[in-house]
Amino acid sequence: MTDIISELKWRGAVNQVTDEAGLKELTQQKAIGVYCGTDPTGDSLHIGHLIPFMMLKRFQLAGHHPVIVIGGGTGAIGDPSGKNSERKLQTMDQVKKNKEHLTAQLVKLFGTENFTVVDNYDWLSKMSLLDFLRDYGKLFNVNTMLNKEIVASRLEVGISFTEFTYQILQSVDFLYLYQHHNVQLQIGGADQWGNITAGTDLIHRQAGADAKVFGLTIPLMLKADGTKFGKTAGGAIWLDPKRTTPYEFYQFWLNQDDRDVIRYLKYFTFLDQDEIAALAEKVKQEPEKREAQRRLAQEVTKFVHGQQAVDEAEHISQALFSGDVTSLTAAEIEQGFHDVPSVDVSAAKANIVQWLVDTKIESSKRRAREDVTNGAITVNGQRIRDVDFELDPTAAFSGRFVLVRRGKKRYFLARVKQ
C-alpha cells in the first residue's frame, strides 16, 4: 500500500504521532480503521471540520477505512473547550436532529462504501455508573488527567467533574472501535492530543502493551496574519448550502491570501505535488492572475458541493464581474445575492419612481427621479432612464426576483410574492 504518512507530512498535515515509524509500517502492510469524532453541537458542519475530514478522506483514498463518531453520548456532556466556561448542554432531541443532519453531510463527502458513521450513545448509554467506575475509572490516574493540556488550561477558573471525565469517555470510544471496527488510529486537532493518548493507554492496558494502536494530531491551522483559519467577519463558513451558499463558499476560497494559498492547496485538495508546485510558481510569477486561488476554490467546492456548484459559482462570478446579470438563473440570483439588502414585493406592475420609494431603495421621489434620469438605476441588468418606466416584477428570473443596482456596486434584491 502507499506510504500515506509521508504524503501527509509533505502536505503539512502531521503535528504529533505516538509512534510514527510503527504507524508508517502498519499502514503500508494492511488496510486499517481510522477514526475521528465530532460532537453534534449544531445541525451543520463547517470548514473547521474539513481539517480532520480531509485526513480521513486521504486515508479512504489510500484504501483504509474511515470511521466517524458522531458523539450522541459525549455531545450531551461536552468536551472541555479550552475556554473559560462550560459548554451548554443540549437536549437529547436536539442532539438527535443534529446527528441526522451531520450524517447526511458526511455521506456526501465520503460516500457509502468503505465508510462508517457510528454514534457513541449506542455503547456509552448502556454503561451504568458502577460499570464506568469499576471497569474504567480504576485505570485512570487523576494526576495524569490533570496534566493533560486541555484540562490544565481550565484548572485556574475551574472545570466540572462532567467535563473532566470526557477524556475517559473518549478513551472508551477508542477501545470500543478497536474491538468492534478494527480501528487502530485516532486522529484529531492539536488540542486533542491528551484525549487521544489517554485512549491508546487504555487499549494497551486492556488488550496488552503490544496492541498496535496509534494517535495522530493535526497542526493548528493559522492564516498568515496569525488569525485562526475559518473565522471570518461574517461568521462560520458552513457546509450546509442553505447556510453558506456554494457561491459564497467558492468566494471564500477564491479570496485567500497569496501567503496561504499553496499551504491550503496541499491540505484541502487532492492535487499532486507537481501540479501544486506549478501553481506555486504562478503565485510567484503572476500573482495578479490568482490561478492558485481559483484552483483551490474549484477543488474544495467540488469536493463539498459537486461540479455543478462550481460551474454555477463561476457563472455568477463572471456575470458580476462583467455587470451582465441577464444570463443568470433564478437559483443563481438567489445564491449570488444572498447577502445583499432584500425586500418582499408584490407582483403588481408599478411606476419605477414610486416602486423605488416603496421598496426603500430610494429615500424620496426626488432622489429616485434624479437617479433614474442620471442613469444610476439598473433593473435586471437593464439601465433605466425613463421616469415613466413601468416595472413588471415578474418579467425576469422566473418571476421570482427583481435585481436593482444603484450606482456601480450597490445591489438590492426584491423577492416577488406569488
191 has catalytic annotation:
yes
**Active-site entry in 19, 24, 28, 41:** 41
359 has catalytic annotation:
no
d(CA 173, CA 159): 22
Q: Phi and psi for 391 in degrees, rounded to 5?
A: -90, 130
Enter the C-alpha cell of residue 346: 408584490
Q: How is 183-198 classified by DSSP, letter by letter?
A: EEEEEEEGGGHHHHHH
d(CA 372, CA 389): 10
Burial track 243-282 (b if 16+ CB lie within 10 A, e otherwise): bbbbbbbbbbbbebeeebbbbbbbbbbebeeeebeebeee
**Active-site entry in 27, 38, 49, 201:** 49
87 has catalytic annotation:
yes
Where is the binding site for L-tyrosine, in residues?
A: 35, 166, 170
**Active-site entry in 83, 108, 259, 383:** 83
41 has catalytic annotation:
yes
Q: Phi and psi for 385 in degrees, rounded to 5?
A: -120, -5
Burial track 366-387 (b if 16+ CB lie within 10 A, e otherwise): eebbebbeeebbbbbeeebeee
**Active-site entry in 134, 228, 360, 417:** 228
d(CA 180, CA 207): 13
Bridge partners for 410 per DSSP: 406
Enter the C-alpha cell of residue 147: 496534566
Do residues 211 and 217 lie in contact, with contact meaning Cβ atoms separated by under 8 Å?
A: no
97 has catalytic annotation:
no
Q: Where are the alpha helices (DSSP H) in 11-46?
A: 20-29
Residue 14's contacts (CB-CB under 8 Å, 6 or more residues apart) are: 5, 8, 216, 218, 219
**Active-site entry in 232, 273, 326, 354:** 232
Residue 386's contacts (CB-CB under 8 Å, 6 or more residues apart) are: 352, 372
**Active-site entry in 46, 266, 406, 415:** 46
88 has catalytic annotation:
no
49 has catalytic annotation:
yes
Do residues 181 and 116 lie in contact, with contact meaning Cβ atoms separated by under 8 Å?
A: yes
Where is the binding site, in residues?
A: 35, 166, 170, 231
**Active-site entry in 108, 134, 204, 231:** 231
**Active-site entry in 18, 170, 244, 378:** 170
Strands 377-379 and 401-406: antiparallel
**Active-site entry in 87, 154, 263, 405:** 87
Where is the binding site for ATP, in residues?
A: 231
DSSP at 362: S
204 has catalytic annotation:
no
Active site residues: 41, 46, 49, 83, 87, 170, 191, 228, 231-232
